[in-house]
Copies of this chain bind each other. A is one copy, B any other.
Amino acid sequence: MIQRSIDSILTPALLIDGPTLNANIDRMNRQVEGLGVSLRPHLKTVKNAELARRMMDGHAGGATVSTLAEADYFHAAGITDLTYAVGIAPSRLAPVAERRKAGLSLTLILDHPDTARALVEYARAHSIDFRVLIELDADGDRAGLRPDEHALLDTANILREGGQGPAGVLVHAGGSYACRSQNALTALAERERLVAVEAANRLRNEGHPIEVVSVGSTPTALFAERLDGVTEVRAGVYSCMDLVMVGLGVCSLDAIAISVLTEVIGHRRASGELLVDAGWMALSRDRGTASHDLDQGYGLVRDARGGPIDQAMLVRATNQEHGIVASRSGESLPLDHFPIGTRLRILPNHACATAAQFDHFDLIENDGLTRLARCYGWG
């Protein structure tokens, strides 16, 4: 049997460093414990049962998913309490009903009276109960109702009259990715909390028995100073971290557990650049650091063991299966230091986007590699 090692596996390959991941999980666990709330990890980053187990260990509150394919995969792995944190499309009510009948407690979110009506009608017509949270908006970033919107009460009342809750409220301050200081992150975390608590109280005042007050994103979860009134925090990318999180000041480079292993396949002599076999197919086209003070291109280059390289090198450009590695300064790289066949690791801008390009990864632990599958697609 051939030992799997960083020198022998085929490239491009997705690597996750186990000890770094474990340390990231410990950090978030300490944070939510200190704030006295429970954690419902978002599994859309790792999409793997073993890493999900590590993230959920010590927490009673189930997990979060972003697709029905994830729901099915994690249900098959024995996780029965999942929140599907994307506003439910009416056409997905039937598949969700099937899964509830199969024993999966899949909690839905919605933010529109018409979606509530469609859900109530489906429930009545098919004699099934759903579990529903109303999605709130803290920052205008994506979806959700504001606590003072008339539609909030409308939506809740439609659900109640149809016997479908609501069981609670949920907010995701995705605007945290645009924050540029730790103070701004702390302020947005507090706004996320206030929006959730205010909406929950408004609904309670109207007689709705709100159980769940769910908040979260990795940056707000890690920089919140208080979470009074909140019942659970959701976060996912904290497990792997990435260059976007480094750019936001959420973590240091050493906390990035995820990377893409690649091999030098050419030398661009005229420009002093390397050609590697990780293009956008492996790295994704995510340029999440393009607007940061430090633009990391398509990823920051490390040596095959994950250690820093003398020159600051990044992936300047990508084609489907090619990446061009250049020095940050634009000066020629010493190509002889990186002969054809040299292996390098690339730290990605966005862990979720890069991981999504792979249907498996290698977990590095005790100097050995273990190949693990990732859930993929929408089912």
B263 x A89 contact (CB < 8 A):
yes
Closest to A9 in B: B91
* Bound form: Cα–Cα A270–B67 in Å: 27
A86 x B353 contact (CB < 8 A):
no
Mark each residue of chain A from 240 to 282: 1 if its CB lies under 8 Å from any CB of chain B, else 0: 0000000000000000000000010111101100010100111
A140 x B281 contact (CB < 8 A):
no
Is A321 close to B, CB under 8 A? Answer: yes
Closest to A359 in B: B377
A265 x B88 contact (CB < 8 A):
yes
Residues of B within 8 A of A66 (CB): 281, 320-321
Known contacts A118-B340, A320-B352: A87-B266 contact under CB 8 Å: yes
A115 x B340 contact (CB < 8 A):
yes
Q: Which of A15-23, A159-167, A181-189, A283-291 contacts B (4 or more CB under 8 A)?
A: A283-291
- A interface: dominant SS: loop
Known contacts A90-B341, A263-B89, A266-B111: A142-B285 contact under CB 8 Å: no
A86 x B358 contact (CB < 8 A):
no
* Bound form: Cα–Cα A284–B281 in Å: 10
Is A223 close to B, CB under 8 A? Answer: no
* Bound form: Cα–Cα A359–B375 in Å: 12
B10 x A378 contact (CB < 8 A):
yes
Is A224 close to B, CB under 8 A? Answer: no
Residues of B within 8 A of A203 (CB): none
* Bound form: Cα–Cα A140–B324 in Å: 12
Is A68 close to B, CB under 8 A? Answer: yes
Closest to A84 in B: B321
- For window 278-337 of A, CB contacts with B under 8 Å fall at 280-282, 284-287, 319-322, 324
Closest to A111 in B: B266
B322 x A265 contact (CB < 8 A):
no
Is A376 close to B, CB under 8 A? Answer: yes
Task: Kindly identify which residue among B8, B174, B277, B324 contacts A89, using a CB–CB cutoff of 8 Å.
Answer: B277
* Bound form: Cα–Cα A376–B140 in Å: 36
Is A92 close to B, CB under 8 A? Answer: yes
Known contacts A112-B267, A266-B112, A377-B358: A87-B10 contact under CB 8 Å: no
* Bound form: Cα–Cα A270–B146 in Å: 11
* Bound form: Cα–Cα A336–B176 in Å: 31
Residues of B within 8 A of A265 (CB): 86-89, 115, 143
